[in-house]
Amino acid sequence: MATFNNYATLSYRGGSTVSNLVTGEIVEALSLTKTAVTDSYTSGGQVTYALAIVNSGAGDVDGLTVTDNLGAYTVGTGTVWPLTYTPDSVKLFVNGALQAPPAAQAGPPLVFQGITVPGGGSALLLYEATANEYAPLDCGDEICNTATLSGGNLAEPITASETVQPLCTANLSISKCISPTVVAEDGSLTYTFVITNYGTVAADATDEVSVTDTFDPTLNGVTVTLDGTALTADEYSYTAATGAFSTKAGVITVPAATVSQDAESGVWTTAPGTATLVISGTI
């Protein structure tokens, strides 16, 4: 909103005088809100934004431009952008009806042009951005993303911001390998499972991590180690007749990933935490 001041001057023969100062306020017909569909992100993951423009005036407002700063922040003496616009992801709804998408310049910054909002109506922009290598990854970090609405004879630009944070949880994956790949009858066979945690929170006993498998051919004389330490019989179960194997829930824990940012480039890197389960026996 903008205010204005005004006074009058009265002139007459032999002198002049001024009136009292009056103040008025221009109330903007347009309002802008920005919302993230989810409030968290992962490295390389998508963030969907909804940008709502409401026109409380009677007349249409056209020629509007939306500029999105893609979460820009300063690293050293430079600027980095932690979000990258997903090409062709924008959708425009006017009074709830899908329209042709506005012209988009990926930037940074991201720019949408040629938006019209009817009198007494609304427009909704939906678009996606990817959390790139500049997206902060530590728990408690955030991306503050600001959109600016301009043009359309606005007295001054309107801004709206939204904040999202990195997902602060364990994020596990598992890989399996066999050695040797060619084995003689009655030979020894080893299965190695590597459990990887890309999250910034460790997977502990309360997460009840468990690995199950059914070995075919079945193994005899099974030995099991976790990160080089032998598991006891009450920490896993194995049925030689069927080859069914399972660790007890909570026995496996996986340390958190370590994340860091290069002070000069601003790039974030992740060193995942790992746990290694090794199961050996004869066939």
Least confident of 30-34, 154-158, 270-274: 154-158
Q: What is the pLDDT of residue 279?
A: 98
Measuring CA to CA, how many Å separate 167 from each of 82, 142, 143, 205, 283?
A: 15, 10, 12, 20, 43
- Which candidate, 56, 90, 26, 280, places its Cα nearest to that of 177? 280
| CATH number of this structure's domain 172-282 | 2.60.40
Q: What is the pLDDT of residue 24?
A: 65
Q: Where are the domains of the chain?
A: 29-166, 172-282
What's the rounded mean pLDDT across residues 3-26?
80
Q: What is the pLDDT of residue 25?
A: 59
Output DSSP code: residue 11: E
Whether residue 27 is predicted with pLDDT greater than 60 in this model: the reply is: no
Q: What is the pLDDT of residue 184?
A: 84
Residue 186's pLDDT band (boundaries 50, 70, 90)? confident
pLDDT digits (tens, 9 = 90+) for 204-253: 999 999 999 999 999 999 999 999 999 999 999 999 999 999 999 999 99
What's the rounded mean pLDDT across residues 36-52?
96
- Which candidate, 132, 201, 131, 140, places its Cα nearest to that of 172? 201
Whether residue 123 is predicted with pLDDT greater than 90 in this model: the reply is: yes
Phi, psi (rounded to 5 degrees) for 10: -105, 120
Pick the CATH number of 29-166 from 2.60.40.740, 3.40.50.720, 2.40.50.100, 1.20.1250.20: 2.60.40.740
Q: What is the pLDDT of residue 7?
A: 81
pLDDT digits (tens, 9 = 90+) for 69-105: 999 999 999 999 999 999 999 999 999 999 999 999 9
Strands in 188-197's sheet, in edge-to-edge order, are 172-179, 188-197, 273-282, 220-226, 229-230
pLDDT digits (tens, 9 = 90+) for 109-121: 999 999 999 999 9
> Comparing 29-166 with 172-282, is the CATH topology the same?
yes
